[in-house]
Chains A and B, each alone.
Chain A
Amino acid sequence: MNAHRLAVSIRILIVALLAPLLGLAAAEPAMAQSEAASLASTSPTGASPLTAADLSTWLDGYMPYAIEAGDIAGAVVVVVKDGQVLLRRGYGYSDVSRRRPVDPANTLFRTGSISKAFTWISVMQQVERGKIDLDADINAYLDFTVTGLGGAPITMRHLMTHSAGFEEALGDLFSLRTDRIAPDLRSYLVKYLPRRVFAPGTVAAYSNYGTTLAGYIVQRVSGEPYEAYVERHIFQPLGMVHSSFRQPLPSRLRPLMSQGYRLGSGEPRPFEMITAVPAGAHTGSGDDMARLMIALLNDGASSRGRILQPATVRQIYGTPHSLLPAPVDRMLLGLYEENLNGHHVVGHGGDTFLFHSEMMIFPDDGIGLFMAINSSGRDGYSNIQKALLGRFADRYLPGKVPDGNVDAAAAKVHARMMRGTYESSVRYGNFFSLMKLFSQASINVHDDGTISFPAFRNLAEAPKRWREISPFLWREVGGEDFLAAKVEDGEVAMFSASKWTGTMILPVPWWRSSGWLVPGLFLALGALSLTVLAWPIVAIRRRQQAVAAAGTVRQRKALFGVRLGAVAVLLVFGAFFVTMTMMLSDPLSISSDLDWWIWALHILSLIVFPTALLLAIRCAWLNFKEGAPAGMRIWSVILAASSFIMLWIAIAFKLIWFSVVY
Chain B
Amino acid sequence: MKQTSVFSKIATFWSGVLLLFGQHGLAQSQPAPSTPGSAPTLDRADVETWLDGYLPYALESADIAGAIVVVVKDGKILLRKGYGYADVAKREPMDPGRTLIRPGSISKLFTWTAVMQLAEQGRIDLDADINTYLDFKIPGRSDGPITMRHLMTHTPGFEQPLRNMFTQPGLPPPLDVYLKSNIPQRIFPAGKVPAYSNYGTALAGHIVALVSGLSFDTYVERHIFGPLGMRNATFRQPLPARFEPHMAQGYDRASGKSLPYELAAPAPAGSMAVTADDLARFMIAHLQKGAFGPNRILRPETADMMHRTPYPVLPGLQRMLLGFYETNRNGHRIIAHGGDTPAFHSDMRLYIDDNVGFLISMNSSGRDYMHYFMRGNLAEQFADRYFPALTPRDGRVDAKTAAAHAKMMAGRYDPSRTSWSSFLSVSALMGSVVVEAHDDGTIGTSELQKLNGQPKRWREIAPFVWRNVDGKDLLSANVKDGKVVMFSSDELSPAVVFLPLPSWRARPDLWFYAIAASLLVLLATAILWPVRSFLRWRTATALPGPVRTARHLTGMAALGASATLIGWLWLLSNLGSAEVPLTAKTDPILWTLQIAGALFFGGGLLIALWNGWRTWAGGGGRAARIWTIVLALAFLVLFVTALAFHLLDFSTAY
Contact = CB atoms under 8 A, between A and B. Distances in A.
Interface of A: 34, 37-42, 48, 54, 56-71, 89-93, 99, 101-102, 263-265, 378, 380-381, 384, 387-388, 391, 395, 458-462, 478, 545
Contact of A458 (B29, B60, B93): B60
Contact of B451 (A58, A68, A102): A68
Contacts of A461: 63
B468 to A, nearest CB: 13
Interface stretch (B49-57, B153-161, B322-330, B497-505): B49-57
Interface string B551-585: 00000000000000000000000000000000000
Given A40-B59, A384-B57, A391-B56, A64 B29 contact: yes
B167 interface: no
A460 B61 contact: yes
A90 B60 CA distance: 24
Given A40-B85, A101-B33, A68 B53 contact: no
A54 B49 contact: yes
20 contacts: A39-B88, A40-B59, A40-B83, A54-B49, A57-B49, A57-B50, A58-B53, A61-B52, A62-B53, A64-B381, A65-B58, A66-B58, A68-B30, A69-B377, A71-B454, A101-B33, A384-B57, A387-B61, A460-B62, A460-B367
Contacts of B58: 65-66, 69
Contacts of B54: 61-62, 65
Given A39-B254, A40-B85, A460-B61, A60 B53 contact: yes
B203 interface: no
Nearest to B256: A462
B66 interface: yes
Contacts of A458: 60, 255
B63 A41 contact: no
Contact of B453 (A57, A71, A459): A71
Nearest to B377: A65
Contact of A58 (B50, B84, B366): B50
A61 B51 contact: yes
B37 to A, nearest CB: 12
B452 A460 contact: no
B433 interface: no
B370 interface: yes
Contact of B452 (A68, A99, A388): A68
B157 to A, nearest CB: 37
Contacts of B85: 39-40
A373 to B, nearest CB: 13
Interface of B: 29-30, 32-34, 36, 40, 46, 49-66, 82-85, 88, 91, 93, 253-255, 366-368, 370, 373-374, 377-378, 381, 385, 450-454, 539
B50 A391 contact: no
B258 to A, nearest CB: 14
A405 to B, nearest CB: 16
B451 A92 contact: no
Contacts, number: 151
B452 A378 contact: yes
A19 B62 CA distance: 20
Tell me which of B32, B51, B55, B254 has the highest count of chain A C-beta atoms within 10 A of its own C-beta: B32
A104 B85 CA distance: 36
Given A66-B57, A68-B451, A378-B453, A41 B84 contact: yes
A59 B35 CA distance: 11
Nearest to A392: B53
A544 B250 CA distance: 64
Contact of A68 (B52, B57, B65, B377): B377
Contact of B40 (A42, A57, A388, A459): A57
Contact of B61 (A89, A99, A459): A459
B254 to A, nearest CB: 6
- Report, nearest first, the 4 A-B pairs whose CB atoms are least far apart: A61-B53, A462-B255, A460-B63, A61-B54
A69 B374 contact: yes
Contacts of A545: 539
Contacts of A57: 40, 46, 49-50, 53
Given A40-B66, A58-B52, A459 B57 contact: yes
Contacts of B29: 64-65, 68
A68 B66 CA distance: 21
Tell me which of B52, B65, B88, B91 has the highest count of chain A C-beta atoms within 10 A of its own C-beta: B52
Tell me which of A42, A90, A391 has the highest count of chain B C-beta atoms within 10 A of its own C-beta: A42
B155 to A, nearest CB: 34
Contact of A69 (B32, B56, B373, B539): B373
A58 B539 CA distance: 81
Contacts of B57: 62, 65-66, 384, 387-388, 391, 459
B436 to A, nearest CB: 15
A460 B83 contact: no
Contacts of A41: 56, 60, 83-84
Contacts of B65: 39-40
Contact of B52 (A39, A90, A91, A395): A395
B255 A42 contact: no
Contacts of B34: 63-64, 89-92, 101-102
A655 to B, nearest CB: 32
Contacts of B255: 39, 458, 460, 462
Nearest to B381: A64
A64 B57 CA distance: 12
A71 B51 CA distance: 21
Nearest to A48: B49
Nearest to A64: B32
A102 B33 CA distance: 9
A93 B34 CA distance: 9
Nearest to B83: A42
Contact of B32 (A48, A92, A387): A92
A574 to B, nearest CB: 25
Contacts of A99: 33
A475 to B, nearest CB: 14
A381 B91 CA distance: 25
A99 B62 CA distance: 28
A108 B40 CA distance: 29
Nearest to B94: A42
Tell me which of A48, A57, A265 has the highest count of chain B C-beta atoms within 10 A of its own C-beta: A57
A60 B367 contact: no
Contact of B49 (A61, A263, A387): A61
Given A61-B53, A460-B60, A69 B33 contact: no
A335 B171 CA distance: 61
Nearest to A57: B49
Contacts of A63: 32, 34, 53
Tell me which of B34, B54, B63, B255 has the highest count of chain A C-beta atoms within 10 A of its own C-beta: B34
Contacts of A37: 60
Nearest to B51: A61
A265 B254 contact: no
Contacts of A101: 33-34
B53 A93 contact: no
Contacts of A65: 29, 54, 57-58, 374, 377-378, 381, 451
Tell me which of A40, A58, A62, A384 has the highest count of chain B C-beta atoms within 10 A of its own C-beta: A40
A58 B49 contact: yes
B627 to A, nearest CB: 16
B33 A38 contact: no
Nearest to A465: B255
